[in-house]
Amino acid sequence: MQIFLDTANIEEIKEISSLGILDGVTTNPSLIAKEKKDFKSTIKAICDIVKGPVSAEVIATDYEGMITEAEELVKISEYVVVKIPFTLDGLKATRYLSDKDIPVNMTLIFSPNQAVLACKAGARYISPFVGRLDDIGHDGMELAIQCQDIVDTYGYETEVIAASVRHPEHVLKIMENGIDIATLPHKVVMQMLKHPLTDIGIEKFLSDWKNANK
Ligand code: G3P
């Protein structure tokens, strides 16, 4: 299972990267805007830390604009993956970029039908948004599982990134269902680290040790 961090915050990325468990990073325009820093230099800084796939999203919504932005983004670093929203123009742009060996992460995937089209267009990654479907009363994890089934059944080279992950229970389901990648907010990685019985266990070991060595 690959773990990506879903953030544009350099400190968070440095911290998780230093644990040696980080495979990549995903950003989106909202996450970039939150940091109030220059887009391209932020992406460059992330790539230099992660040295793995880093998704940077286009802002343009038209085919030509997406291609122009994508070609600029991949100049930033060999690790840049162009993130393209799932639209008709996005699909066309994905096919064009994939044919040029530029990796694309098709984002805002909300149905298996969108997922299969993205795979057929040559997307390197597809990102079903789990939490945002849960938010409107659907089963977001079901979509991520369907995406993985499509990829596995037809043998696409696309990898599935379960995105919009909100809590450790989501991560558990991602693992149970063999989904390729989970992109996690920093907070969720921290929640995964924690177990009260580990803390209680350490406390007990240390107090037993102290008592025995009085
Ligand atoms: O990066 C895309 C996705 O993970 C966003 O998550 O929590 O804003 O739905 P969220």
Q: What is the pLDDT of residues 45-93, one digit of tens each?
A: 999 999 999 999 999 999 999 999 999 999 999 999 999 999 999 999 9
Distance 83 CA to ligand 1 centre (A): 13
Mean pLDDT (the chain, rounded): 98
Share of the chain residues as helix, strand and coil, in percent rounded to the nearest 5: 55, 20, 30
Atom of ligand 1 nearest to the CA of 26: 1
Report the C-alpha gap between 42 and 36 in whole angstroms.
10
Instruction: Report the atom number in ligand 1 closest to the C-alpha of 30.
Output: 8
**Residue 4 CA, ligand 1 centroid: distance in Å:** 12
- Please tell me whether the overall predicted TM-score, pTM, comes out greater than 0.85 for this model: yes
The three-point CA angle 62-84-115 to 5° equals 115
Residue 131: its pLDDT value, please?
98
Query: What is the rounded distance in angstroms from the CA atom of residue 97 to the CA atom of residue 123?
Result: 9
Any catalytic annotation for residue 214?
A: no
For the chain, the domain total comes to: 1
Structural domain range at position 55: 2-212
Q: Taking CB atoms and a 6 Å cutoff, what residues make up the pocket around ligand 1?
A: 6, 26, 28, 129, 131-132, 163-164, 183
CATH code of the domain covering residue 100: 3.20.20.70
Residues contacting 184, CB < 8 A, separation 6+:
3, 4, 5, 6, 165, 171, 192
% of the chain residues with pLDDT over 90: 99
What residue's CA is closest to ligand 1, atom 3?
A: 164
Residue of the nearest CA to atom 9 in ligand 1? Answer: 164
* Nearest-angstrom CA–CA distance, 48 and 78: 10
Of 4, 83, 105, 129, best ligand 1 pocket probe by most atoms within 8 Å of the beta carbon = 129
CA of 163 to the centre of ligand 1 (A): 6
Is 214's pLDDT higher than 90?
Answer: no
Q: Beta strand pairing status for 181-184 and 125-128? A: unpaired
From the candidates 44, 83, 210, 214, give the one annotated as an active-site residue. 83
Atom of ligand 1 nearest to the CA of 27: 1
The predicted-structure confidence for 148-188, as pLDDT tens digits, reads as follows 999 999 999 999 999 999 999 999 999 999 999 999 999 99
